[in-house]
Structure 1
Amino acid sequence: MKHGNTSESRRARAMLTATRAVVYAILIFLSALCLFSFYLLIVNASRSNADLQGGFRFLPQGNFLTNLRNSWNDASINIPRGMLNSFVVALCTSVLTTYFSALTAYGLHAYEFRLKRAAFTFIMAVMVIPKQVCAAGFVQLCYKFHLTNSYLPLILPGIAAPIVFFYMKQYMESTLPMEIIDAARVDGSGEFYTFNRIILPMLKPALAVQMIFSFVESWN
């Protein structure tokens, strides 16, 4: 009986090892496939114009630092200023998106009112509206309120992010009991104080994830 159990355990370990090997092989292949585009980016960045016109090459060439210096110092592109602009816009957008989406989700999670379900449905319906539909009207609105030539038209729309709201709403429903909110109210805590000092620290994992995603989306 003991010999039979030993044989079964060996087969189980062998099966587990084989399964892990297959999974690791698939993950390594997918990782290499994702990183291959970055490798080609580096290869092409190290080639001269003549090399680029000569066709594909797998190995890097010797012009990477020269190309980087020329592009960095090109006054017609101004990469440093562009990166600074992107960083400022992405940082402000990610902070505003995460905070106001969490605040909106908290309002629908912590309060009971007549149009609560209708408000949730309306916010979800906004997700299916393409950005291109309202782009022309938004540009005209920016001209009307004299918001051109500034960061504001790129930052302010980030306040309304239905997908971030939906994620925060689902996270609150799974991890934020109403007893904590009720206890804070009984102790005399104001609503904004409760949200900023009690609720937000409890949402740190979700806030961090959504801030990273919002930053990357805005940067792109």
Structure 2
Amino acid sequence: MKVLLLGGTGEARTLAELLTAEGIDVVSSLAGRTTDARLPLGEVRKGGFGGADGLGDWLREHRVDAMIDATHPFAATMTAHAVAASRDTGVPLVVLRRPGWTPGPGDNWHWAESATAAAGLLPDLRIKRVFLTIGRQGLDAFATTGLWTLARCVDPPEPRPTWCALVLARGPFTLADELGLLLQHNIDVLVTKDSGGPATSAKLDAARELHLPVVVIRRPPLPTDLTTVESVDQAVEWAVQRAV
């Protein structure tokens, strides 16, 4: 059995290892936007496919039996292409999405539908210093807020913004890491995406401990009539069932 694994996440790397151990031929596809990305076990291809049609052609040419989308929860375009290619070729698809974050006691969260909407919420919060943890895409929405802003990214945006300070770092981060950063820069609001998972959740714990408001950008909705799972083990089970 041959599986195309749309990856780039920690779950995808674990999934590639487990599927290979099951005797399944895995090709992991990475978008190639992140430098020095952690590569999964097995065959790896980098770069786009040329849209849904290009992905469909690749599935046919390489005789793929199944496809697993384990991309980031905000990789909506890639997921849409995978759904369209699956319907066009008949190659079965499952989408692995880790559960999103939920606020707990003591949290002061404000939900937004987009980066632009998140930036629009900031004036009402009466804050002065912003910490952005939304990656490189969407930063420009905050360029005109007039607030002092620190943005954390894995790789520097191009062109490099002059309106904010940058810190380049890759998770996972500890609670001590996040508390130190927030206190060092006198941050009074955190802006993040609802990525879910433990690798970058310590910032939420730190914001709670410091009684800071958090603006959370909602995930884009998944297409309807789609098979989804929430864990690596469930994705492995789905693939193994089709390999029998």
TM-score tier (shorter): under 0.3
Q: Which one has more relative contact order, counting CA pairs under 8 Å at least 6 apart?
A: 1
Which of the pair has more CA radius of gyration? 1
How high is the TM-score relative to the length of structure 2?
A: 0.24
Structure with greater proportional helix content: 1
